[in-house]
Amino acid sequence: MTWGKRRAIVIGLLILALIVLVWAASKPTAMRIPTNGVLVINASGEIEEQKAPDIFSALNGTTPIVLHDYLDAIDTAATDSHITGLVVRIGPLETGWAKLEEIRTHLLNFRKSGKPSICYLGYDGIQNPEYYLASACKEIWLVPTAPVSIRGMMAEALFLRGTLDKLKIVPEFYHIAEFKTATNMFTEKKFTPAHREEVEGLLHSVYNQYLEDASSGRNMDRAQFEALLNRGPFASSDAVTNKIVDRLGYWDQVQDYFKKRDGKWSPISLGSYRSSVSNDGTERIAVVYASGLIVSGDSGSTPAGGSVMGGDSVASDIRAARTNSGIKAIVLRVDSGGGSVVGSEVIRREVELADAVKPVVVSMSDVAASGGYWIAAPARKIVADRNTITGSIGVLIGKLNVSGLYNLLGMSTDSVTTSDNASLFSSQQNFTPAQRDYIQKSLDQTYADFTKGVATGRKMTVEAVDKIGKGRVWSGSQGKELGLVDELGGLDRAVEVAKNLAHIPAGESVRLVRYPEERSFFQELLQKEKDTTSESQSLESMLRHIVSQMEPVQARIPYELHIR
């Protein structure tokens, strides 16, 4: 056999193997739900709105679990005769308060089914966010040695000015207006009066919601629950005595509970059960996801795996939904603290065009502020969770002068320019007086565009927008009072609003078409090949792209604020 024939056989076998893999990955597998099944949900870490599947997930036919998987599975289990109960195993959470509020709302609805629901606290790190979620279950079980570290709530921000001073790095940032505090982490060593006022307002809004919801979930008087918080944290025995939890127990005892009740223990994981969730309906509504830092160009991911929202990519998704005659309305699901003004404007324009054709409803997740609010303003209706961080109508620009650090390290640079402004964003010098004039003019113009866009979209005067703008962030509840938000609720409420605007009967089921669309294994493989051969999609290029977004005028929030 010649070498050419052997090579042809090898290539043929490889192609055949690839076809088999593609077929196996795309072949649907029916899941048989056992009688008396118990849905077991693991809730920990960060819960994301969207996450592109990697090639290995696509190969085995799975996709990462995201927020709507939690919500849809809980709702389906409530009416599924094969499901007799629900257990949520809660570990340390790194997600925002609005997403927790949405999951919690669906857990409360599950309680109405009469089926048992247990939130199992079997891990270290049970604090306010974890307990907030747990309070939605009918019963809370706690491992006997685990403390419940619920207590008063704190908002904390990181400041780097002292570090920059030690490194001889000079931060030079400008913003509109006094509440636009995203760059305070570089320029300050503690809260400014405006920054403190803003954070205190947001903290107390979230705290009051926590008190109201958790006390109701535990059938306590609000004042009684707040008194307990002021005494916390609690040892496990004290948690039972004070009715913070219902009982102490281990995981095997949770299993025994269902064995005695149902005759057996038949757990079903969220990853398996979500394939049973139906998405049927005659009419279709698009759900377009807009998550992460806003940049101009295409969407991607950060080195840490987070989402980067490309203006062109999201605009393309909205355009696809707009031009699809089978889609009756669009829900834009926003989870972003902003970023590029250019990227934001590209999306905003597409939202405006879409709403002229069919109803566009914005659903706000954990954060929909600054650039995230910029893209939301033209929508016909805006729905936010009560704990959503929104607003932050303001802009900023600036840079770090690292010439002092270079001198400290014995390094130096030299340059040749063709004009005075060629060095505008040079990291080796401060802005010149002429450059500061240009920057102020850019800030004024961008802020005017921002407030005008919000005023037009929200049917307010520019003066009224400026009054509640100035860069200040608000909670969803506060935003509702101020006219930045139309209704309070989660994604399900936004879909109901969209149905109503599209004249779809309230009782009629709709099919949700999600953008960006999930890719098959073969599509993922082709995309991966494209990514590895395209310099524009390389890690190095993505890092450069993200860093470059710091140069123009930005619309973003103080993303280093943590409320726990």
Residues recognised as catalytic = 180, 370
Helix or strand (DSSP H, E) at 220:
none
Distances (CA, A) of 441 to 94, 176, 395, 498, 542: 39, 11, 12, 39, 30
CA dihedral 364, 104, 252, 128 (to 10 degrees): 90
Rounded CA-CA distance 132/125 in Å is 13
The contacts of residue 198 (CB under 8 Å, 6+ apart) are 179, 181, 472, 473
The residues with which 488 forms a beta bridge, in sequence order, are 384
The residues with which 364 forms a beta bridge, in sequence order, are 334, 384
First CA to last CA distance, the chain = 71
Helix or strand (DSSP H, E) at 409:
none
For residue 537, how many other CB atoms are within 10 A of its CB? 16
Dihedral sign of CA atoms 472, 475, 478, 482 in order: positive
CA angle 42, 45, 47 (to 5 degrees): 80
Rounded CA-CA distance 472/492 in Å is 28
Dihedral sign of CA atoms 58, 331, 66, 528 in order: positive
Enumerate the H helices of 362-425 as residue ranges. 371-374, 403-408
Rounded CA-CA distance 171/402 in Å is 9
Enumerate the H helices of 340-398 as residue ranges. 341-355, 371-374
CA dihedral 292, 493, 91, 215 (to 10 degrees): 130
Residues in the chain, overall count? 564
Rounded CA-CA distance 244/293 in Å is 38
Residue 107 CB burial class (10 angstroms; 0-12, 13-18, ≥19): buried
